[in-house]
Amino acid sequence: MEELARLSDIERTAAGHGQLIWTAQGQGGESLGPEVRAWRHGAAVAVAGPSRQQDRLAVHGDSADAVVLVRRVLEEVGASYRLLGEAALIGALVRQVPGLVPVHEFFWMETTSPPGAAPDGVRWLDAREETEARPLFDRFFPDSYAQPGRAGVGRWAGVVGEVDGSTGAEPPAVAADAWSAAGCGFMGGVVTHPSARGRGLARAVSGFVLDALVHRHGRAALMVLTTNAPAIATYERLGMAKHRFGAAHLPAR
C-alpha cells in the first residue's frame, strides 16, 4: 500500500472521477485538505476525508485490489469512515470485507460543461438573506448537510424578488456552493418553498450555481438519492451525468 501525498497523484489515479478529487479537498497547489490522506494499492485508490458531518472514504478501481486496500485503510483510520464508491464496487466490498454493511445507494452527478444558465432574479445572497433562508431548512429540508451558517458552506445563491405564492421573508429557492475543492466544485442545500414549486425555480438557482462552479473549478458535482426523481431530472436537464454509487460502513459495536 502506497500513500499518496500530492493532489496531482490523486488526479492521475482518479482517471477523471470527480469524487476522489472532491474528497481530497485540495484548496490549490499540491496539498490535500487538512487531515486528508490517500493511498493506492495496485489498480485501486482510496481517499480518506474527515468531516464534521460524516468522515468519508472514497474508493475507486479494481475490486480485488480495493478489498486489500480498504481492509488496511480501515485499520489505520478507524471505523468512523463511511465508504463511498460505484455501487458495484461497494457491493463487492460488502461481500468481502468482514463487518462492512451497506447503507444506501445514491447518484453522484457531475459535469465539466457550464450549463450557461443566466436566469433573471437569481444571484448570490448577502448575509441577511442567508439568515432569512434558514426557515426553509427548518421546515422543509432539516436533514440537509448544507444549511446557512454551517461550517464549510461557502456561499448561497437564491431567487430574489417577488414570486407569486411564496410566503414569509425567505427566498423561495436557494442552493449552496458547499465544500468545494480544487478541481471539483460541489453544490448542496437545494430547496424550494412548496408554494413556489413547479415554476422552474430549482432549475434556475441550480443552473446559476453549477455554472459558477464549473467556471471556477473545472467541474461541478452533487449527490442525490436515487428516489428523488424530480431533482435528478432537473440536474440532467442542466447537463449533469449520473453515476450510481453506494455507501457502506462498519457499525459501531
CATH of the domain at 52: 3.40.630
Do 44 and 81 lie in one domain? The reply is yes
Residue pair 115/238 in contact (Cβ under 8 Å)? The answer is yes
Do 68 and 148 lie in one domain? The reply is no
Do 74 and 141 lie in one domain? The reply is no
Is 48 domain-assigned?
A: yes
CA pair distance 13, 6, nearest whole angstrom:
11
3-class SS at 127?
helix
Do 69 and 141 lie in one domain? The reply is no
Is 78 domain-assigned?
A: yes
Torsion of CA 97, 103, 105, 108, to 10 degrees: -80
Do 10 and 98 lie in one domain? The reply is yes
Q: Where are the alpha helices (DSSP H) in 121-191?
A: 127-140
Is 11 domain-assigned?
A: yes
Do 88 and 145 lie in one domain? The reply is no
Do 90 and 146 lie in one domain? The reply is no
Is 211 domain-assigned?
A: yes
Our count of domains for the chain comes to 2
pLDDT tens for the chain, residues 1 to 253: 899 988 888 888 877 789 999 999 988 888 898 999 999 999 999 999 998 778 999 999 999 999 999 999 999 998 899 999 999 999 999 999 999 999 999 999 999 999 886 677 899 999 999 999 999 999 999 999 999 988 889 999 998 865 544 445 678 999 999 999 999 999 999 999 988 888 889 999 999 999 999 999 999 999 999 999 999 999 999 999 999 999 999 997 6
- Which domain, by its residues, includes 104? 2-108+245-249
CA pair distance 10, 32, nearest whole angstrom:
9
Do 23 and 68 lie in one domain? The reply is yes
pTM for this model (two decimals): 0.90
